[in-house]
């Protein structure tokens, strides 16, 4: 099997599964319980939080556990809007964000908030100066993803963070789900106020993730109940999931140190070979793990199924919108022609992929295209 759909989800690392099972077996008590088993579970939960915060170079109390990227993005966007609506109701994002961000903003528009969707260039990159131009006195939030989930464009987060830092009442949120351990990134140095991460994109487990919330920021909670996670995310904590996330984060950061050049080599090889017979949409200086291509004249899902019959797995676009109409909203926002936006495919790698897999993939894709065009 050749699995090139890692931006949709990754295969859990065996050590992550082992950590989850051990935590679920031994520390099954509710961390909120006051008996000895509950206290032991709470102690492990906070130890895990400290481990994650050390790796992210943030404070433990700034780490809020969530069920994944979608929930974290919704807490960040809606929580900011509801909490600070008395400051203003103007929000800023781009036209190429993940559906969990885009749909959250659309929902807020229905509730009386005003959203400015900043355009991107033909590579999917937003110009920080364009964001600066649309900031107003009543702007309370800017939300920009670090790495585009469809084409791998790396956004100028550091420059945007610097701009946002000059507006004390304005918060800056980054959806970093696709960027973790793939690109250089510093929450502190980039002056990020809110940051989203997801476990199952880094060989962790589905249903795990976090939202970094800078100390001093208050957000309106979407879940009300027992006041867990600093009153921001009520609900019994998924302790085994937290342990699994911490292990996945450690492993992927170590893999980045050892295998980043290897991953870049695979991406560059694929880009070079693919450019001979398909349209490559991803920018050359994009993230090392995502390549978006188009094969005009062929339906993307037909190509996906044909490759799957050969035990090779890629995707059409974002897994969260892959069952929607063929048009890629990201490619459309880049100003590409309909024949390109309706025939897009995404190849997404992980540090566990090999050059041998890439070579086999190129040969098999060429054969599939020849077969389908006949």
Query: pLDDT tens digits for 89-130?
Result: 999 999 999 999 999 999 999 999 999 999 999 999 999 999
Residue 227: predicted pLDDT: 85
Neighbours of 206 (CB within 10 A): 15
Q: Which of 221-235, 282-296, 326-340 has the lowest mean pLDDT?
A: 221-235
Quote the pTM value: 0.95
Q: Which of 64-68, 223-227, 327-331 has the lowest mean pLDDT?
A: 223-227
User: What is the three-class DSSP state of 154?
Assistant: strand
- Residue 146, token pair as written in the block: 């670090």
Which of 320, 327, 332, 372 is catalytic? The answer is 320
Question: Mean of the pLDDT values across residues 147-171?
Answer: 97
Cβ-proximal residues to 212 (8 Å cutoff; 6+ apart), any chain: 56, 58, 62, 63, 64, 187, 192, 194, 195, 196, 197
Residue 166: predicted pLDDT: 97
First and final C-alpha spacing in the chain: 26
Active-site residue flag, 195: no
pLDDT at 324 over 80: no
Q: Which of 190-199, 206-215, 217-226 has the lowest mean pLDDT?
A: 217-226
pLDDT at 31 over 50: yes
* pLDDT above 70 as % of the chain: 98
Residue 179: predicted pLDDT: 98
């Amino acid at each position: 099997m050749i699995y090139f759909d890692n931006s949709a989800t990754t295969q859990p690392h065996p050590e992550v599964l082992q950590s989850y099972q051990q935590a679920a077996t031994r520390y099954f008590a509710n961390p909120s319980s006051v008996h000895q088993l509950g206290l032991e579970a709470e102690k492990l939960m906070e130890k895990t939080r400290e481990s994650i915060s050390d790796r992210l170079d943030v404070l433990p109390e700034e780490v809020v556990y969530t069920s994944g990227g979608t929930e974290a993005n919704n807490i960040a966007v809606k929580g900011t809007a509801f909490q600070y609506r008395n400051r203003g109701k103007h929000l800023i994002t781009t036209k190429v964000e993940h559906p969990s961000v885009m749909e959250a903003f659309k929902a807020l528009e229905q509730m009386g908030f005003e959203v400015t969707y900043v355009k991107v260039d033909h590579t999917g990159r937003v110009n920080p100066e364009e964001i600066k131009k649309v900031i107003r006195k009543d702007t309370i939030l800017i939300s920009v993803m670090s790495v585009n989930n469809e084409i791998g464009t790396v956004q100028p987060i550091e420059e945007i963070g610097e701009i946002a830092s000059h507006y004390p009442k304005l918060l800056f949120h980054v959806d970093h789900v696709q960027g973790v351990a793939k690109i250089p990134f510093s929450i502190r140095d980039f002056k990020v106020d809110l940051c989203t991460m997801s476990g199952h994109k880094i060989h962790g487990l589905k249903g795990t993730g976090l939202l970094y919330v800078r100390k001093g920021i208050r957000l309106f909670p979407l879940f009300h109940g027992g006041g867990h996670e600093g009153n921001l995310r009520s609900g019994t904590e998924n302790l085994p999931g937290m342990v699994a996330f911490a292990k996945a984060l450690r492993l992927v950061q170590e893999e980045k140190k050892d295998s980043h050049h290897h991953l870049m080599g695979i991406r560059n090889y694929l880009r070079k070979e693919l450019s001979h017979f398909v349209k490559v949409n991803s920018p050359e200086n994009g993230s090392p793990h995502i390549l978006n291509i188009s094969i005009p004249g062929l339906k993307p899902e037909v190509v996906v199924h044909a490759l799957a019959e050969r035990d090779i797995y890629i995707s059409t676009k974002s897994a969260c919108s892959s069952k929607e109409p063929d048009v890629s909203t990201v490619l459309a926002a880049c100003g590409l022609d309909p024949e390109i936006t309706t025939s897009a495919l995404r190849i997404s790698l992980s540090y566990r992929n090999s050059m041998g897999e890439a070579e086999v993939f190129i040969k098999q894709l060429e054969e599939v295209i020849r077969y389908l065009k006949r």
